[in-house]
Amino acid sequence: MDYTRGQGWHDPRIVPYQPLALEPSAMIFHYGQSVFEGLKAYVSSDDEIILFRPKKNFERLNNSNSRLCIPDVDVDFALMALKTLISVDKEWIPRAEGTSLYIRPFIIATEPYLGVSPSDRYQFIIIMSPVGSYYKEGIHPVKIAVESAFTRAVNGGTGEAKTGGNYASSLKAQEESEKMGYSQVLWLDGVEKKYIEEVGSMNVFFKINGEIITPALNGSILSGITRDSIIELLKHWNLPVTERRISMEEVYEAFKSGQLEEAFGTGTAAVISPIGEFLWNGEEMIVQNGETGELSKKLYDTLTGIQTGKVEDELNWTTKVEEK
């Protein structure tokens, strides 16, 4: 659908996937005024299409909108539109174990204007694609390089928004870590390069001497929906979980004294990614003998179970695309 200042959002429509017609002076090409979301739909064994906490995605989209001077969308309308879109063409939603339908809602500034100011016109689009299993044979640990040269986000910046520019600025660090054999980078705060923020496309958790710790949201970390779900689940299980500042030194000390029991990333794509190794200041820190920890496995099984309708949804997180 489209937005025109003075008129609001209008003309919602479903059209075949096709190229967009935008003027070369459309503001998105010049000043990066864009926001997006990522979520998945799964088909359960009794053939129901399940969305996992989709309202959270549209609420977060509005958070990003607010930071990028983009008008809000109506959360209920967006969810209804998404459900309609999925229902129209659902035969190609993959059904095999581990597969899902990846959903990418996004908004771009379309006004043809070269002055630096918020656009007066936008397009809100939802595209979808079947995706395969993130892990071919169960979950397995990833290797992460702690980033010391580049910064992803600073206080007051756009770090907590899901906007294209954050990802553009992270590509160089990602490319360099891949050359060294690491799959993603762990970002530290942009001021002191001391406190842990998040991984490339995941939030991060540590289990140190029984306490499960994740960096507190501070304005420069993306508020992950998987992160929030893991915190809720751990509380539901009466396990000790703390959101607080945590420095790389603290993790290193815990590693040295044998108290770093597990580390894992959380995100829509992989759900839970156990971290088997950190590279920090040239030193390889092997966590849990480079293997998947018990807690990571339990969280992965529970969350993917809820998402696919195999585990009871005690926390009321799932929404069916069509009520039977």
Residues of this chain that bind ligand PMP (CB under 6 A): 38, 198, 201-203, 222, 224-227, 266-268
> Looking at beta carbons only, is 26 or 103 nearer to ligand PMP?
103
| Minimum distance from residue 307 beta carbon to ligand PMP (Å) | 12
Between strands 203-208 and 196-199, the pairing is: unpaired
Q: How far apart are CA 274 and CA 247, in angstroms?
A: 19
Question: For residues 286 and 277, is the Cβ–Cβ distance under 8 A?
Answer: yes
- CA nearest neighbour of 147 among 206, 187, 183: 187
In the bound state with ligand PMP, the residue whose beta carbon lies nearer, of 223 and 247, is: 223
Nearer to ligand PMP, 119 or 203 (CB): 203
Which residues does 73 contact at the CB level (< 8 Å), separation at least 6?
9, 58, 61, 62, 65, 107, 124
The CB-of-194 to ligand PMP minimum distance in angstroms stands at 19
Which residue's entry shows tokens 């939802």?
126
With respect to ligand PMP, which residue has the nearer C-beta, 109 or 204?
Answer: 204
**CB closer to ligand PMP out of 38 and 71:** 38
CA distance 148 to 186: 9
Q: Per DSSP, what are the bridge partners of residue 263?
A: 206
Minimum separation from the CB atom of position 160 to ligand PMP (A): 10
Q: Tell me which H or E stretch contains 260.
A: strand 260-267
DSSP 290: G
**Minimal distance in Å, beta carbon 216 to ligand PMP?**
14
Query: Minimum distance from CB of 121 to ligand PMP (Å)?
Result: 26
